[in-house]
A and B are shown apart, each in its own frame.
Chain A
Amino acid sequence: MQGVWQSAVISAAFDVQAHEADDQIPAGPSVIVDPPDGKLPYLPEAAKQAKLNWDQRDRDPVGYCHPHGVPRQLVPPFPLEVVQDGDYFAILSETEHSVRVIPLNGRPHRKNYWAWMGDSRGHWERDTLVVDVSGLNGKTWLDQAGNFVDENEKVVERFTMTGPDRILYEATVSDPTVYSRPWTMRIPLARRPKNTELIEYDCVEGERDVVHHQNLQRQRAK
Chain B
Amino acid sequence: MRIRLLCLLASGAVLHAATGDLRGVWKADGKAYLNLETAGVIVDPPSGKIPYRPEARIRVAENFAKRASADPDARCFQPGVPRATGLPYRLQILENARAVYIVYERAHSYRILYLDGRPHNDGLPYTMGDSRAHWEGSTLVADVASFSDQTWLDGAGHYHSDQLHVVERYTRTSPETIAYEATIEDPTVFTAPWKLRVTLRRQPGAELTEDECEVDSNGARHHVAPSKDSK
CB neighbours of A216 from chain B (8 A): 124-126
**Tally of A-B Cβ pairs under 8 angstroms:** 92
Tell me whether A137 and B226 are in contact (CB under 8 A). yes
Bin the interface of chain A by size: 35 or more
Q: In the complex the two chains form, is A97's CB within 8 Å of B112's CB?
A: no
B201 shortest CB reach to chain A, Å: 19
Q: With A and B bound together, what is the CA distance between A64 and B221 in angstroms?
A: 12
B contact residues around A24 at 8 Å (CB): none
Contacts of A199 in B (CB 8 A): 121, 124
Contact at A200–B221, with CB atoms within 8 Å?
no
In the assembled complex, the Cα of A200 lies from the Cα of B80 at a distance in Å of 12
In the complex, B108 has a CB within 8 A of chain A: yes
* Partner of B108 from A97, A214, A220 at Cβ < 8 Å: A97
On whether the beta carbons of B110 and A99 are closer than 8 Å, the reply is yes
Q: Inside 8 A of A203's CB, which chain B residues have their CB?
A: 77
Q: Smallest Cβ distance from A152 to chain B, in angstroms?
A: 10
Q: Taking the nearest CB of chain B, how far is it from the CB of A52, in angstroms?
A: 20
Q: Which of B211-226 contact A (CB under 8 A)?
A: 212-213, 215, 221, 226
- Residues on B lying within 8 angstroms of A by beta carbon are 23, 75, 77-78, 92, 94-96, 98, 101, 103, 108-110, 112, 114, 118, 121, 124-128, 207-210, 212-213, 215, 221, 226-228, 230-231
Could you write out 30 A-B pairs with CB less than 8 Å apart? A2-B96, A2-B98, A65-B213, A67-B108, A67-B212, A83-B94, A85-B95, A86-B23, A90-B103, A92-B101, A92-B112, A97-B78, A97-B108, A99-B103, A101-B207, A110-B207, A112-B227, A115-B210, A115-B212, A115-B226, A137-B230, A138-B231, A195-B118, A197-B121, A198-B112, A199-B124, A200-B124, A200-B126, A219-B124, A220-B121
| Among all A-B residue pairs, the 6 with the closest Cβ atoms | A115-B226, A115-B210, A85-B94, A114-B231, A200-B126, A151-B231
